[in-house]
Amino acid sequence: MKPNRVLVVGSYVVDLMSRTPHMPRTGETVLGGPFRMGAGGKGGNQAAAAARLGAKVSLVTKVGDDEFGRSAMSHFQAEGIRTDWVTVDPEEATGVALILVDDNKDNQIVVSLGACGTLSREDVEKVEADLAASDIVLIQLETNLDAVGTALNLADKHHIPSILNPAPYQPFDRTWLKYAAYITPNETEASALTEMEVNDPDSAASAARLLADWGARSVLITLGGKGVVLRESTGQCWHIPPYQVEVKDTTGAGDAFNGGFAHALSVGKSALEAALYASAVAALSVTRVGTAVSMPQESEVLELMEDQRNHVKPIAFVEGS
């Protein structure tokens, strides 16, 4: 089997997470706990997910010259993530994410990007040779948009498929849809992007059709407990039902999906096969507390897929319905 090389361009932050019985109202102090600290950031999480599944992952990001930055390097090495393009910023602190998870398993997150927010066009241009040798490029919006646009353009230049995960959502140049081989919003991001209410498979299929009209090739809209809608570049649209698992913490589920999707594509799976695989990765991640630490191994993913193969079967949409 050929090496499957995944290049991730994006964020790394330290997750500072606490459980809370309910989300605090304005001015309210809530006694919560336990508290957990761990590796996070969408780029870091997606890189960890792909690496644990067997991909050869390089991460392009920035950390601070501080204790969090040093722990980040140790984390990358432990996960087998290449750090050639992880830059230590002498001025900015390593980013942090403040996370609350309530008794309903819902979460609220505030991210302070710090060093990874300064990732620049020049930082991405330095990795052009590695990018051109990759099988898949995976990018999010949790960093400087100049870096995002540069990565998409370089991937297109070298004919390397790219995945644009528009999270956390912020307005971006719509022409980017034509450069990304795949775009992977959740329902909230799809709603913001299309200005349509997306909350079920039918509305997701309509939003995916609009994104295709705007130039997107393959669109995957993740719907949490309602599964995933995939619109392939051919126009064929599918609903993938969710895997049935016991949910403990949904934080990082989207990152698990994107890392799993990138890994599956890098080993030659079709978009539909990769979406089924990625859905299993995300399902397993929510059975554990945390983000990067919750990412599963491939053996676990294959076991879940085998156990639920009769339940999770893609359902085809009829175009125009």
What residues form the annotated binding site for ATP? 186, 222-227, 254-255
Rounded CA-CA distance 64/92 in Å is 6
Which residue out of 102, 146, 255, 307 is catalytically annotated? 255
Annotation: binding site for substrate: 13-15, 41-45, 142, 255
Neighbours of 200 (CB within 10 A): 14
Q: Hey, what's the torsion of the CAs at 95, 14, 291, 18, to 10 degrees?
A: -110
* Length, in residues, of the chain: 321
Mark whether 255 is an active-site residue. yes
Q: Is 162 helix (H, G, I), strand (E, B) or coil?
A: strand
Annotation: binding site: 13-15, 41-45, 142, 186, 222-227, 249, 251, 254-255, 285, 288, 290, 294
Which DSSP helix (H) or strand (E) runs through 136? strand 136-140
| 8 A C-beta contact, residue 56 and residue 41 | no
How wide is the angle at C-alpha 224 spanned by C-alphas 147 and 30, nearest 5°? Answer: 85
- Residue for token pair 């090496």: 3
Q: Give catalytic residue positions.
A: 255
